[in-house]
């Protein structure tokens, strides 16, 4: 294991070299989860957000990148992009010239003032236009005091050091820092992009799969590549075969077909049938929050009248709020269904 982690570069090519062999022997060689094994090393391998990647690539060739903030939902490749940028800019010097801190590292004011400054002051010989890079992953979890301490540091050492921040919610980053960085906003990956990558991995790992299985993987992932690959690996390790039934067993989510059916009953105004499905889901043991977020996901993509859909989304949102506040009983869900039916009926009149 220790030897493995030391030589990441050549090892990544191995799955390709031993492609004809079975997946089991691959696992013997490489113990990392698939999401790590297929983490892109170069810009060309990164899926989605093409505009951002293109622009960063230009910078990586010329050098002199500004400080950047990558903001976006989880699993769209924020950290991967930053690492690729660092790799392309710094090459072999990456080991000495990159400091990576994430939420699990200590990042109070003390660390910002001392560790980051120490690193910024260190002398590393780099080509012109290249700078040391400090990667702050999950920067939105930094305290405000720590961010305040960072803002002047960013400018004082801008001759030698660049910052790359990754965060989910850019509103948690103070304005002073946002003003000092170029904001790159990543959006969720499209289903097609996720599917293409999943297919590629399936081929390399020789996973037996069906079309509806992959569809289920893509649906559960919701544009999150990390989740897609993790779900794929768990399903394939657990059942040996990826079909929709197995995927939903592994991910343990209410089946979207059932939820869709339920929504259709609501549109038709049939509360009894809709409630039957809800009671069935409840009996299966799903938490109210799981069910409601699944209903929302199905509803926003559902083909239905726009006015009615708006009302539905609003009701679902309100119910979600009450559930998060603690009222997560079956009665609330039944109330939601009743309100949806009511809306549908009043709309038809």
Partner 1 sequence: MQLSENWAEPYVLDELAVDQRKVGEISSWLSNHRNTCGILLLTGPTGCGKTAAVKCTARSLGFEVREWVTPLDRNFESGADIGFFQNQTEKFEDYLYSCSRYADLFVKSSSTSSLLLVEDYPNIFLLKPEIFHDVLGKYCRTSRAPIVFICSDVADHGLNIERELFPLDVQGSLGITHIVLNPVTRTRMLQALKRMGSYLQSMSSGYKLPAPDILNEICDSANGDVRYAMLSLQMKPQEDVVSLFDFAGKKGLGKKRPNSLKLTREEETVSACGKDDRVSILHAVGRVLYPKWYEGALKPNSSSTKRKRKGDEKHLDATVPDARWVHDPNTIVDAYCSTASSFLLFIQENYLKTFSTIESVAAASQFLSSADVMMTGVGVEASQEMSLNVAVRGVMVNNKVPNRIFNQVRGSRHWELLKTQTELTTLTDSLFPLYPVSHTVLLTDVIPFMSHSCTNSLSNGKFDCS
Residues binding partner 1 (CB under 8 A):
49-52, 54-55, 58, 62, 64, 66, 71-73, 109, 113-115, 117-118, 128, 144-145, 148-149, 151-153, 156, 158-159, 167-171, 174-176, 178-188, 223, 293, 296, 300-301, 305-307, 309-310, 313-314, 316-318, 320-321, 324-325
Which of 6/159 has CB closer to partner 1?
159
For partner 1, which is the closer residue by CB, 58 or 200? 58
CB of 207 to partner 1, least distance (A): 28
Residue 43 CB, shortest distance to partner 1, in Å, is 14
- Which residue, 183 or 192, has its beta carbon nearer to partner 1? 183
In 3D space, the residue among 193, 256, 187 whose CA is nearest the CA of residue 219 turns out to be 256
Q: Minimum distance from CB of 180 to partner 1 (Å)?
A: 7
Q: Shortest approach of partner 1 to residue 108 CB, angstroms? A: 10
Judged by CB, which is closer to partner 1: 181, or 207? 181
Q: Which helix (H) or strand (E) holds 68?
A: strand 68-71
| In the complex, minimum distance from the CB of residue 239 to partner 1, in angstroms, rounded to a whole number | 28
In whole angstroms, how close is the CB of 6 to partner 1 at the nearest point? 22
- Closest to partner 1 by CB, 145 or 238: 145
- The nearest distance, CB 330 to partner 1, in angstroms, is 20
Which residue, 201 or 288, is less far from partner 1 as judged by CB?
288
Q: Which is nearer to partner 1, 8 or 300 (CB)?
A: 300
* Residue number with CB closer to partner 1 (9 or 128): 128
Question: How far apart are the C-alpha atoms of 325 and 308, rounded to whole Å?
Answer: 26
CB of 290 to partner 1, least distance (A): 11
Written as six digits, the tokens of 102 are: 């994430």
Does an H or E element contain 38, and which?
Answer: none
B/e letters for 26-62, b = 16+ CB within 10 Å, e = fewer, are: beeebebebbebbbbbebeebbbbeebbeebbebbee
Q: Are 17 and 29 in contact (CB under 8 A)?
A: no
For the chain, the helix, strand and coil percentages under 3-state DSSP, each to the nearest 5: 65, 10, 30
Closer residue to partner 1 (CB): 23 or 153 = 153
Separation between Cα atoms, residue 279 and residue 273, nearest integer Å? 10
The CA radius of gyration of the chain, in Å to the nearest whole number, is: 24
Tokens (6 digits) for 337:
């269904």
- 267 token code pair: 């549109």
70 backbone dihedrals φ, ψ, rounded to 5°: -100, 120
Q: Nearest CA to 30 among 7, 52, 46, 47?
A: 7
What's the token pair of residue 223? 């544009």
Chain-centroid distance, C-alpha 338: 34
In the complex, least distance from residue 104 CB atom to partner 1, rounded to whole angstroms: 17
DSSP state of 165: E
Answer for the pair 204, 30: CB distance below 8 angstroms, yes or no: no
């Amino acid at each position: 294991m220790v030897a493995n982690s030391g030589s990441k570069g050549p090892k990544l090519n191995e799955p390709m070299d031993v492609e004809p062999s079975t997946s089991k022997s691959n696992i013997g060689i490489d113990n990392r989860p698939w999401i790590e094994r297929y983490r892109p090393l170069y810009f060309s391998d990164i899926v989605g957000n093409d505009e951002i990647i293109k622009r960063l690539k230009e910078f990586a060739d010329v050098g002199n990148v500004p400080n950047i903030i990558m903001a976006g939902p989880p699993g769209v490749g924020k950290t991967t992009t930053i690492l690729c940028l660092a790799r392309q800019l710094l090459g072999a010097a990456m080991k000495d010239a990159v400091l990576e801190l994430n939420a699990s590292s200590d990042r109070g004011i003390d660390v910002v003032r001392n560790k980051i400054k120490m690193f910024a002051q260190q002398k590393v010989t780099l080509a012109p236009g290249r700078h040391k890079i400090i990667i702050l992953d999950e920067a939105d979890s930094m305290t405000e005091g720590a961010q305040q301490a960072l803002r002047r540091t960013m400018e004082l050492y801008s001759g030698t050091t660049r910052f790359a921040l990754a965060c989910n919610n850019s509103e948690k980053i103070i304005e002073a820092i946002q003003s000092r960085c170029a904001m790159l906003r990543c959006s969720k990956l499209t289903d097609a992009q996720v599917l293409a990558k999943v297919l590629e991995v399936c081929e390399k790992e020789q996973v037996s799969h069906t079309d509806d299985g992959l569809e289920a993987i893509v649906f559960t992932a919701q544009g999150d590549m990390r989740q897609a690959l993790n779900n794929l690996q768990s399903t394939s390790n657990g059942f040996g075969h990826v079909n929709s039934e197995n995927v939903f067993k592994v991910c343990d989510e209410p089946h979207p077909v059932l939820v869709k059916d339920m929504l259709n009953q609501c549109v038709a105004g049939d509360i009894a049938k809709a409630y039957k499905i809800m009671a069935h889901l409840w009996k299966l043991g799903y938490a109210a929050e799981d069910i409601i977020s699944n209903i929302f996901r199905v509803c926003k993509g559902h083909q239905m009248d726009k006015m009615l859909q708006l009302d539905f989304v609003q009701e679902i949102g309100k119910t979600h709020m009450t559930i998060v506040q603690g009222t997560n009983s079956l009665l609330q869900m039944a109330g939601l269904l009743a309100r949806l039916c009511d809306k549908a009926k009043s709309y038809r009149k």
